[in-house]
Amino acid sequence: MSAHRTVFFVSDRTGITAEMLGHSLITQFEGIEFKRITLPFVDTEEKAQLVAERIRQTYAADGVRPLVFSTFVKNEVRDLIHIPEAHMVDFFEAFIEPLEAELGQDSSHTVGKSHSIENFHEYNTRIEAVNYALAHDDGIKPADLDSADIVLVGVSRSGKTPTCLYLALQYGIKAANYPLTPDDFGQPGLPKALLPFKHKLFGLTIVPERLAQIRAERKPDSRYASVDNCRFEVAEAEAIYRSAGVPHLNTTNKSIEELASTIVHKTNMARRIY
């Protein structure tokens, strides 16, 4: 089998679902280099025919069938892409019919249901949470944390900002973050600005060597990025977490999605969301 495969994520809407599920599947196959191509909004037969032709051209160039992960509501569009030159996995086709049989009801076959703005309250909640995360990033407005659902704490470049934004966008959680700096080290307990919000704190830590690599991309050959300094800052941050009883996670080998999901469940926010 070829060590290189082209993967298409095709959908009549954004392609997010096809990407997410397809990516989860192909990551189980090590040693294969996947070239990923996303083709969203393939919502007409004309567009589907163009996609089918592109797949045929890819097959001819690669000499091996590309993988096609798709989410199509309309059978007539899906069928045009279901060609012998590709190995196709359509998630709607795989799951909708069994669900219809189990529930005793036909699906609505409505395009874009999963990513539409039908629940305006939920949508507005997520937008407000994103705005909040941006306004309270990197210690901005530390005295204005009363309305935060959670405050992520950690040294610089430990993953606070992207995790806050993902919590906001995916879950509608108002997440602020507070960077621990050398001014916060060498003294017992939490920084004074965080004391009123101890119940909202969640700490992030990271392997010092990995932190040094990340910081070196931003400020190479600086004390800020040195391994010794990173070891010192991480050790001090973890000491603060332990002394103050702040729950914390190591971000080194975790994706943003995994971090956010773990934080949601460890803080019992899942009850509020679901």
267 annotated ligand binder? no
24 annotated ligand binder? no
200 annotated ligand binder? no
158 annotated ligand binder? yes
Task: Name the strand (E) or helix (H) holding 251.
Answer: none
156 annotated ligand binder? yes
78 annotated ligand binder? no
22 annotated ligand binder? no
Measured CA to CA, the distance from residue 225 to residue 220 in angstroms comes to 7
159 annotated ligand binder? yes
Listed residue (12, 15, 8, 19) closest to 110, CA to CA: 12
Measured CA to CA, the distance from residue 206 to residue 245 in angstroms comes to 18
Residue type (1 letter), 125: T
Q: Which two tokens stand for residue 156?
A: 């610089």
Measured CA to CA, the distance from residue 37 to residue 72 in angstroms comes to 17
> Sheet harboring 4-11: ordered strands across?
33-39, 4-11, 67-71, 87-90
Residue type (1 letter), 134: L
Q: Residues at the annotated binding site? A: 154-161
Q: Residues at the annotated binding site for ADP? A: 154-161
